[in-house]
Amino acid sequence: MTVDHVRSLSSGINQTGVRAYNERLLLSVLQRNGALPGGELARRTGLSPQTTSVILRKLEQDGLLHKGVPVKGKVGKPSVPFDIEADGLFSMGLKIGRRSADLLVLDLKGEVRMQLRETYDYPMPDTVFGFLERGYEDLMSALSIDMRSRMCGLGIAAPFELWNWHELVGAPPAEFAAWRDIDFSAEAARITDLPVHQVNDATAACRAEHVFGMGREYRDYVYFFIGAFIGGGIVLDHAVFEGNQKNAGAFGPLPVPDVQGKPAQLIDLASIRALEVRLEADGLDPRQLWQTPQDWSHLEAYVQPWLEQTADALAIASVASCAVIDFEAVVIDGAMPATCRARLVEMTRTRLSDQDLRGVIAPEIIEGRVGNNARGIGAAAGPIISQVLLNRSAALLGALLHKLGSERTSPFPGRTYPTGSVTGMPRAV
């Protein structure tokens, strides 16, 4: 199957256009809370039962929802829960990392259906977009015709100002500067002919955790993702806050002292690159850290001191973050084996208790659930959110709520826009 043939099959879902606000609201409530009956959906959104029923039938006909098994109650008819249909929509996510690139297919429930990976010493445009071109054709060819018709877009997660990282990834400066002139969206659209959404890689990881992982359970939290370097994200009032320049949560430059108390940055201490340096010092190949499946058990002599150093730095960074905003939690995830992540979280909890917390409310230290694939999943979530879910960007919602006030006339004549529902989302209009 040629790329042109793949393109011709990938535009079906886009013909349905942008979904109405109330359709997005119901889908968003179900995505965040799981299966619910129509009556409960009406109560949570403020829609009338009749309107809710009409919308649910339409979403079911469009293949975005399915009915569950009726649940018998004490009185009246059994309630029928509705849930997201996993096959209702698909998207692709391209993660451009410092050591590898991933291309994956994500379904509407956040499950990765297929995935390809390419490793390298450092990323270059020809390598990355060559991988995208080959991988896109391979993945689309492996999908059924119906799945291809429901492919809604491609999300790209890449480091902010990638060209500035040449020294840390060991790339020739002159060659690596080629990234400065690359238009990610234009290159990807040329290859795939899909709508393209670009996001900072660490923000993408935060989005994945927020939409599909631990983030559903907390209102405000800091998110740290430890990859080759460290980045993260910020969630405020149940929404990922991207910032004015789309770079909020860029924790790498955060000043923290090293073990000798000398000034350093979080990126120097709490990143897998710091573990690579330990291996290189003893003549070991650092590329073994990125092999799949990941297994670092034979490197315990290097991993343990690295985890201790990282936990110390994260504890300090957590206090600094909570001194600005009283986050209720700090979520830690990363491109590492799950056993290492669990150890790191426990160590960070211990180190946090040793910090001077006067004037600061200590946050919970929580282990992320999404793991190594968070950046690719977060990238792929972008097109899905654009097509069928409410855009829970704190910046966009904040501007809207500021304009509307707590109970003012909405942009829709004859309607009001009450804020603050039990779902953490605006109510129906």
Residue boundaries of the structural domains of the chain:
14-86, 214-369
- Look over the chain and give the mean of its residue pLDDT values, rounded to a whole number: 85
Question: Rounded to two decimals, what is the model's pTM?
Answer: 0.84
Q: Are 132 and 191 spatial neighbours (Cβ–Cβ below 8 Å)? A: yes
Q: Are 82 and 66 spatial neighbours (Cβ–Cβ below 8 Å)? A: yes
Q: Could you tell me which CATH number the domain at 214-369 has?
A: 3.30.420.40
Give me the mean pLDDT over the 95-103 stretch. 91
- Structure confidence at residue 6 as a pLDDT band (50, 70, 90): very low
Across-strand partners of 101? 96, 118
pLDDT at 409 exceeding the cut of 80 = no
| Residue 413 pLDDT | 35
Give the pLDDT confidence of 212-240 residue by residue, as tens digits.
998 788 999 999 999 988 999 999 988 89
| Residue 177 pLDDT | 85
Across-strand partners of 71? 79
Q: Are 233 and 205 spatial neighbours (Cβ–Cβ below 8 Å)? A: yes
Rounded CA-CA distance 264/267 in Å is: 8
- Structure confidence at residue 15 as a pLDDT band (50, 70, 90): very low
pLDDT at 170 exceeding the cut of 80 = no
Three state DSSP letters for the chain: CCHHHHHHHCCCHHHHCCCCHHHHHHHHHHHHHCCEEHHHHHHHHCCCHHHHHHHHHHHHHCCCEEECCCECCCCCCCECEEEECHHHCEEEEEEECCCEEEEEEEECCCCEEEEEEEECCCCCHHHHHHHHHHHHHHHHHHCCHHHHHCEEEEEEEECCCHHHHHHHHCCCHHHHHHHHHCCHHHHHHHHHCCCEEEEEHHHHHHHHHHHHCHHHHCCCEEEEEECCCEEEEEEECCEEECCCCCCCCCCCCCEEECCCCCEEEHHHHCCHHHHHHHHHHCCCCHHHHHCCCCCCHHHHHHHHHHHHHHHHHHHHHHHHHHHHCCCCEEEEEECCCHHHHHHHHHHHHHHHHCCCCCCCCCCEEEECCCHHHHHHHHHHHHHHHHHHCCCCCHHHHHHHHHHHCCCCECCCCCCECCCCCCCCCCCCC
Chosen CATH of 14-86 out of 1.10.10.10, 3.40.50.920, 3.40.190.10, 1.10.510.10: 1.10.10.10
Give me the mean pLDDT over the 61-86 stretch. 86
| Residue 76 pLDDT | 65
Tokens of 105: 């297919």
pLDDT at 418 exceeding the cut of 80 = no
Give the pLDDT confidence of 16-53 residue by residue, as tens digits.
334 688 999 999 999 988 999 999 999 999 999 999 99
| Residue 70 pLDDT | 83
Rounded CA-CA distance 132/130 in Å is: 5
Give the pLDDT confidence of 288-346 residue by residue, as tens digits.
998 888 999 999 999 999 999 999 999 999 999 999 999 999 999 999 999 999 999 99
- Structure confidence at residue 99 as a pLDDT band (50, 70, 90): confident
Between the alpha carbon of residue 282 and those of residues 98, 272, 286, 307, the distances in Å are 22, 16, 10, 18
